[in-house]
Amino acid sequence: MALSLRKKQLDLITRMLHLNQQQSSPDGGGDGEEEAYKILVMDGPCISLLSPVLRVGDLRKHGVTLHLNIDKARQQVPDAPAVYLVRPTPANADRIAADAAAGLYASFHINFSTSVPRPVLERLASATAASRSAHRVARVADQYLDFTCLEDGLFSLAQPRAYVSLNDPAAADADITAVVDAIALGLFCVASTLGTVPIIRCARGGPAEMVAAALDARLRDHLLAKPNLFTEAASSAASSFQRPVLCLFDRNFELSVGIQHDWSYRPLVHDVLSLKLNKLKLPTEKYDLDDSDPFWVANSWLEFPEVAKEIEAQLAKYKQDVDEVNQRTGGGRDGVEFDGTDLIGNTKHLMNAVNSLPELTDRKKMIDKHTNIATALLARIKERSLDGYYRCENDMLENGTVDRSMLLSLLSGKGTKEDKLRLAVTYLLSFEAPPPSELEQVEAALRESDVDMSAFLYVKRIKSLNTQFAAASSTASRSNIVDWAEKLYGQSISAVTNYLSDGRQLALTRTVEALMEGKPNPEVDNYILFDPRAPRSGTGGQFRGPFREAIVFMIGGGNYIEYRSLIELGQRSQPSKHVIYGATEILNGVEFIQQLAELGQKAGLGSGGSNLPSQ
């Protein structure tokens, strides 16, 4: 069973758009088409949820004539049914009630993107009852759709700044619980869309365990209620062999991936040109980069120089094809031959040529688009000398060596402030104990370039805390937030340095591979296992693998680099395994380092730098 998250989400949305009626066969009656022309009303987050999956033309195929934002002023369309897809907040409930009272549409089919809490439902009910318009509401349903599926195996929960909220030293308990609950609800939506109850594994201590516990509780509660969303799936996936494993990780597990510079096409576009929701906005125009673009699908993981070569190869092939078409149809020939056979062949060629023209124009447009993107990328790369940064970071992370002169020259040379900061933090993270003199030089270079030091100092402080608490035992109360945070950092960074000595496979990939294989492995043996289907008290069957499918979730910021390494893991293993990757949000390096800087400032490590802990 190949899990294609995107297809399943699309199926759900399509069914919702057809008002949850049976798909009528072409010969069947026109009963389902009585309400053929609907209006779709959504709120902001749901619009961004829908945009990577459906386009406006596709909406029309499903019979949606208009899509509107719930917050804008709307007018009456008295004879059309309206499909609402909103988040279950009280404000949305009020707006729906107002719309029903004003009688804007003929019937209301209300779908909430996650489970609607009872108070909100009662609020909606009382408002509609008071305005005598409750009969207009035809249906209320929970769709469990609250995640953005960017590609077949990549999703994001669109919960910005989760990392900051979780690691904020001044955060209250209630805030943290709220964030953890929101993440658990998002993961529940993903599990229910896939139709499986996964086996949850996470590291001890820290936000991962809290999220896992919350999700486990939610799944258990849901499985007890009847009818639940997983009963149909249970019969088809009876053996636990077919259940996927959900691996939860915290961003602190491997900080360096979040900020490093990468040299492949897709991470570069995401980083330098800020790709958002598969849409790219250049100063001159906008582009869509998703599955409908064959060049992107085929070449997005290549290194940048190779991508340029590919574009040139495609351009040459295109020119060749165009020349061939011109030649065959007598475009450049002198003298026309009226030979009988030749004429017949001529017309056939003409017909083929005319038929292939639209395809050729599409190819040309695609080549133009990628040429523009590559040119823009190249300009920025030259401006910021990103290739130097990439090489330096790669040396540090992979080989554990550093070319001091290159490091310092980069820090004082070209590149934005964020680039330098990222390089410095990568330097900090790749060495267990950097020699103090070098550290001083690096810091001095940073200060000279007038870079905001909060992120750097924050990471430094984490490392210093790590050295102090590395020996602490794993059992400790989690009531004090700073306590468990420091515990977490201790384990995570020591884990990171262990892995880094062994060549440059991402620690995340290694752990996921170990978890999926299920063989006893010292790295992952002390990972907690939650199985929502198993009875709570029983010791029965703690199933540890091997698994064929995995869902990897990163609490904090996700990254295309991790996504690529997980895809490679899936393809590498035989038989090929299927890995889905998700995060609370997909961040590029610039945004992540900004979040680190924000945390540094919150921890009081502002540009003063007066509270540097002694090493």
Partner 1 sequence: MSRVRDRTEDYKDSVRVAALSHGYTESQLAALMSSFIIRKPSPRSPFTNAAVKTLESIRELEKFIVKHRKDYVDMHRTTEQERDTIEHEVGVFVKACKEQIDILKNRIHEDERNKRAKTWLGTSDENSRLDLIAHQHGVVLILSERLHSVTAQFDRLRSMRFQEAINRAMPRKKFKKKPETKLAETPKSNLVLQSDVSKSGDQEVSTAPLRVQEQLLDDETRALQVELSNLLDTVQETETKMIEMSALNHLMSTHVLQQAQQIQYLYDQAVEATNNVERGNKELSQAIQRNSSSRTFLLLFFFVLTFSVLFLDWYKN
Would you tell me which residues interact with partner 1 (CB under 8 A)? 8, 12, 15-16, 20, 26-27, 30, 33-34, 36-37, 39, 60-61, 63-66, 68, 74-80, 106-107, 111-112, 115-116, 118, 121-122, 124-126, 128-130, 134-135, 137-144, 192-193, 195, 229, 232-233, 340, 343-344, 347-348, 350-351, 354-355
Distance CA 171, CA 457 (A): 20
Phi-psi region of 507 (alpha: psi -120 to 50; beta: other; left: phi over 0): alpha
Q: Which is nearer to partner 1, 104 or 423 (CB)?
A: 104
How many whole angstroms from its chain centre is CA 301?
Answer: 16
Distance separating alpha carbons of residues 212 and 202, to the nearest angstrom: 7
β-strand partners of 469? none
Nearest approach, Cβ of 125 to partner 1 (angstroms)?
3
Residue 224 CB, nearest distance to partner 1 (Å)? 14
Least distance (Å) from partner 1 to the CB of residue 60? 5
For residue 110, which phi and psi values (nearest 5 degrees)?
Answer: -100, 125
> Which residue lies nearer to partner 1 by CB, 126 or 320?
126
Using alpha carbons, select from 204, 183, 215 the residue that is nearest to residue 492. 204
Complex with partner 1: residue 25 or 614, whichever CB lies closer: 25
How near is the Cβ of 340 to partner 1 at its closest, in Å?
6
The answer to whether 557 and 584 have CB atoms below 8 angstroms apart is yes
Whole-number Å distance between alpha carbons of 457 and 596: 10
Least distance (Å) from partner 1 to the CB of residue 128?
7
Spatial distance between the Cα atoms of 23 and 485, rounded to a whole number of angstroms: 51
Question: Count of H helices and E strands in the chain?
Answer: 23, 14
Q: Taking the complex as a whole, how short is the minimal distance between the CB of residue 362 and partner 1, in angstroms?
A: 15
From CA 444, how far away is CA 318, in angstroms rounded?
A: 52
Considering the complex, state which of residue 33 and residue 173 has its C-beta at the smaller distance from partner 1. Answer: 33
Name the minimum Å distance from CB 322 to partner 1: 18
**Is the CB of 129 or the CB of 378 nearer to partner 1?**
129
Closest distance to partner 1 from the beta carbon of 192 (Å): 6
Closest by CA position to 205, among listed 439, 490, 407: 490
Provide the minimum distance between the beta carbon of 92 and partner 1 in the complex, in angstroms, as a whole number.
15
Give helix 386-394 / helix 340-384 axis angle, nearest 10°.
70
Q: Which is nearer to partner 1, 116 or 180 (CB)?
A: 116
592 contacts: CB under 8 Å, gap ≥ 6: 163, 258, 259, 557
Return the number of the residue (141 or 482) whose C-beta is nearest partner 1.
Answer: 141
Residues 393, 423: Cα–Cα separation, whole Å = 7
Work out the number of other CB atoms within 10 angstroms of the CB of residue 392.
21
* Closest to partner 1 by CB, 239 or 341: 341
Question: For partner 1, which is the closer residue by CB, 134 or 529?
Answer: 134
Yes or no: say if 590 and 448 are a contact pair by the CB < 8 Å rule. Answer: no
Residue (71 or 173) nearer to partner 1, CB: 71
The residue assigned the tokens 């995107």 is 6
Q: How far is the CB of 537 from partner 1 (least distance, A)?
A: 28
Residue 149: CB minimum distance to partner 1, A? 14
CB 399 within 8 A of CB 232: no
CA distance 367 to 372: 9
Taking only Cα atoms into account, the Rg of the chain, rounded to an integer number of angstroms, comes to: 28
Least distance CB 124 / partner 1 (angstroms): 7
Instruction: Name residue, tokens 């109360």.
Output: 477
Cβ-Cβ contacts under 8 Å for 246 (sequence gap 6 or more): 187, 191, 198, 199, 200, 201, 215, 550, 551, 553
Shorter beta-carbon distance to partner 1: residue 204 or 364: 364
- CA–CA distance, 552 with 531 (Å, rounded to integer): 16
- Choose between 194 and 597: whose C-beta lies nearer to partner 1: 194
Q: Which is nearer to partner 1, 116 or 512 (CB)?
A: 116
Cα–Cα distance list, 527 to 241, 310, 393 (Å): 20, 44, 30
Type and span of the H or E element at 310: helix 304-328
Give least dist CB 247 to partner 1, A: 23
For residue 613, is the peptide bond before it cis, meaning its omega torsion is within 30 degrees of 0? no
